[in-house]
Structure 1
Amino acid sequence: MNNLTFSVEPSIYQDLVSFYGEVFHLPPLAAKINSLLIFDFERKGISFEELVDYYKASKSSVSTSLQLLLEHRLIAEKDSASRKRYFVTNDRFIRIRFEEIVRRLQIELTLIDRLSDFRGEQDGASQQKFLIYRELLTNNLNNIENSLRQLYDE
């Protein structure tokens, strides 16, 4: 079961499986494959056949899991000169994930501003809580956008 060209630390692997399974609502095999690919630091890729062999899973199960991970853009297919398909983590995933968070924060900010306008004047305590919440959203939005610019040299 260990014909990989890289090492895997079992406790980190298990924590990654739990984390990605929970955060992205991945089925167990998909969470395991995604977590395994994270340890491929040199990004050589793991072939479909290697995954079937490594997990002792059916081709159908591995194929379904890979398709789900590709659809979620967690992984990507690596260009290869051979006929084999190799899979790696998506190097754009951080950007994709945080751009989605930015989009949701922007929507939430717009919605709470619209609600505030609709509600009209508020008492001091309600208005203060609203302002704190709005500032929290705005600060997080700005921090994420600034970090993305730094990460991707924009």
Structure 2
Amino acid sequence: MKKSLEVDEKIFQDAVKFYGTILNLPPLASKIYSYLIFDFEKVGITFDEFVEVFSASKSSVSTSLNLLINSELIIDVNKMDERKRYFFANDDYKKIRFEKIVQKMQDELKLLDDLNQFRKIKDEDYDQKMEVYKSLLNKSIVNIQESLNKL
């Protein structure tokens, strides 16, 4: 079996490094995800192709695929006339990723408010900087949510 996708090695290596770092993925999971983003025609990639392309054990590939599915980075589909599962990059992941970022910023705002309520010491300089930071978080939340609505 040969690769079913045409992959540019330089772009692939850059993607592996980028997604491994930004999504905190182990090396094989990052390679699988990066490989799937080259599936522009959405034909899907089988488990066996991953094993062969990456010369990895079935166990390692299975573990990486499960991690990617649980992270909602990829989806799997069983075609009606076949037993094989086909894997695809999840097109909705960009939206899911930024929804998680918004939630983290909202959680941080709540934590900052709780800490400020608990704080006994008044420091005008600190309060002013904290207000600027909270304003930045709020503006970022609004900006991201507006963009998400367009997706």
Per-residue CA deviations over 1:55-82 (Å, capped at 9, x if unaligned) read 1222111111111111111110024121
Cα drift, residue 5 of structure 1: 3.2
Per-residue CA deviations over 1:21-60 (Å, capped at 9, x if unaligned) read 1223222111100100011111110011111111122211
- Cα distance change on mapping 1:127 and 1:39 into 2, 3 Å: same
Query: In structure 2, what is the equivalent of residue 4 of structure 1?
Result: 3
TM-score, scaled to structure 1: 0.89
CA distance, structure 2, for counterparts of residue 123 and residue 58 of structure 1: 58
CA distance, structure 1, for counterparts of residue 64 and residue 113 of structure 2: 40
TM-score, scaled to structure 2: 0.90
CA distance, structure 2, for counterparts of residue 96 and residue 79 of structure 1: 23
Count of residue pairs the alignment pairs up: 150
Task: Give runs of ≥4 in structure 1 deviating > 6 Å.
Answer: none
Bigger shift: residues 51-60 or 34-43 = 51-60
Per-residue CA deviations over 1:76-131 (Å, capped at 9, x if unaligned) read 00241211111000122112111111111111111112222333673432222011
Query: In structure 1, what is the equivalent of residue 56 of structure 2?
Result: 57
Contact 2:33 2:73 in 1 (8 A): yes
What are the equivalent positions in structure 2 for 1:95-134 lying under 5 Å apart? 95-119=95-119, 122-134=122-134
Q: For residue 67 of structure 1, give the secondary structure of its aligned residue in structure 2.
A: helix
Q: Percent identity?
A: 49
Give the CA RMSD over aligned residues: 1.7
